[in-house]
Amino acid sequence: MEIIKIEGPYNFDSVLERFALDPLWPVNIDERKVSVPLWIAGEPEVLSVQATGTTWEPEFLVEGLSLINRQEALKKLYRLFQWDVSLKEIHNHFQKTDLKPIFDEFAGTPLILDRDPYSCLIKCIIHQQINMAFAQTLTERFVKTYGFEKDGVYFFPRPETVVDLTVEDLRKLQFNGRKAEYVIGIATAIAEGKLDLLALEKQPDEEIMKVLIKYRGIGPWTVQNFLLAGLGRPNLFPMADIGIQNAIKKLYNLERKPTYEEMEQYKKDWEPYLSYATMYLWRSVEPRARTF
């Protein structure tokens, strides 16, 4: 058991609300708790993270840590929950922009990362060009069919498992042929060591874009979402994202979705924290699990 205290604001309830949209995250809204699947020292482990503080005085209870790999586990938790990023400066920056009402409503919401870069990249490919509800369903089928469960939490299938799948295997889950090929292709590149996500993680955004865009099924939208949700890069704004377009339409009371030219103008005031603008815009149009 470990108690973690960080600088506020940090809104863990908003984090849980967003996790609750994904059926693969075991969230307990009432207890303010989530179970987190992590690979620690090459082994699957499940940790429990529970908020015991407030948005402005954040505190967390972490259970399931082993003495042997405690530091590695904590490092991964800090990365996933972005506990080492001070949100105060970011919050103050947006007080002088059109996004002030949203940042006040969801004050202290961090960038919310996926469990690890590999599962994030696979998830981004699965989510391409389909609505969110079906994307979640398709991802859940993929993970529950070919991944595995530990302590009530599902782990994504490892690249070595996906390599042995066929297009027909994934078509049975309602993947289309191309998307099945893309997922298997990326997993194969990772399993064979041709694509090293850990090494890539240390590169600048532009270099990561150059490397990933070469793979079939990966376009700019996929890379931008990977940089944001997989690596937590702070200045990403995927203008092609439907959720972003709908949120801006709502924010400015537009009769139609904004053009790219309009979005370019809007986002000027939001730099260098475009990823946070993206997150808060998403939150403004997502269903809420509960009002706190």
Domain shared by 178 and 225, yes or no: yes
Instruction: Looking at the structure, tell me whether residues 215 and 139 fall in a common domain.
Output: yes
Q: Does residue 35 form part of some domain?
A: yes
Closest CA to 275 of 236, 223, 227, 225: 236
Residues 217 and 230: their CA atoms lie apart, in Å, by: 17
- Tell me, yes or no, whether 122 lies in a domain: yes
Task: Name the pTM for this structure.
Answer: 0.89
User: pLDDT tens digits, residue range 153-203?
Assistant: 999 999 999 999 999 999 999 999 999 999 999 999 999 999 999 999 999
Kindly report, residue by residue over 57-94, the tens digit of the pLDDT.
999 999 999 878 899 999 999 999 999 999 999 999 99
Whether 114 is catalytic? no
User: Torsion angle of alpha carbons 200, 145, 176, 225, nearest 10°?
Assistant: -30
pLDDT of res. 288: 66
Verify that 213 and 171 share a domain, yes or no.
yes
| Average confidence score pLDDT of the chain | 94
CB 34 within 8 A of CB 49: yes
Kind and range of the H or E run holding 285: helix 274-285
| pLDDT tens digits, 25-48 | 999 999 999 999 999 999 999 999
Q: Domain check: are 201 and 145 in the same one? A: yes
Q: Are both 205 and 254 inside the same structural domain?
A: no
Segment 6-35 mean pLDDT = 94
Among 84, 79, 109, CA closest to 94: 109
Catalytic residue among 104, 164, 241, 269: 241
Residues 37 and 73 in one domain: yes
* Residue 142, in any domain of the structure: yes
Q: Does the residue 291 lie in any domain?
A: no
Question: Quick one: 57 and 82 in the same domain?
Answer: yes
| 265/207 same-domain check | no
Residue 241 pLDDT class (50, 70, 90 cuts): confident
Judged by DSSP in three states, 225 sits in: helix
Which of 81, 105, 129 finishes a domain? 105
pLDDT for position 291: 36
In a domain? residue 236:
no
290 domain residue, yes or no: no
> Is pLDDT of 21 > 90?
no
pLDDT tens per residue across span 120-159: 999 999 998 888 889 999 999 999 999 999 999 999 999 9
Q: Are residues 13 and 92 in the same domain?
A: yes
DSSP string computed for 78-138: HHHHTTTS--HHHHHHHTTSTTHHHHHHTTTPPP---S-HHHHHHHHHHTTTS-HHHHHHH
Query: Of 47, 81, 105, which residue constitutes the final position of a domain?
Result: 105
CATH number of the domain at 31, please.
3.30.310.20
Question: Does residue 112 sit within a domain?
Answer: no
Residues 78 and 151 in one domain: no
Any idea which residue has 């994307």 for tokens?
135
* Number of domains comprising the chain: 3
Q: 26 is in which domain, residue-wise? A: 2-105
Residue 201 shares a structural domain with residue 266: no
Q: Tell me if 77 is assigned to some domain.
A: yes
CATH code at 153? Answer: 1.10.340.30
Please check whether residues 143 and 181 belong to one and the same domain.
yes
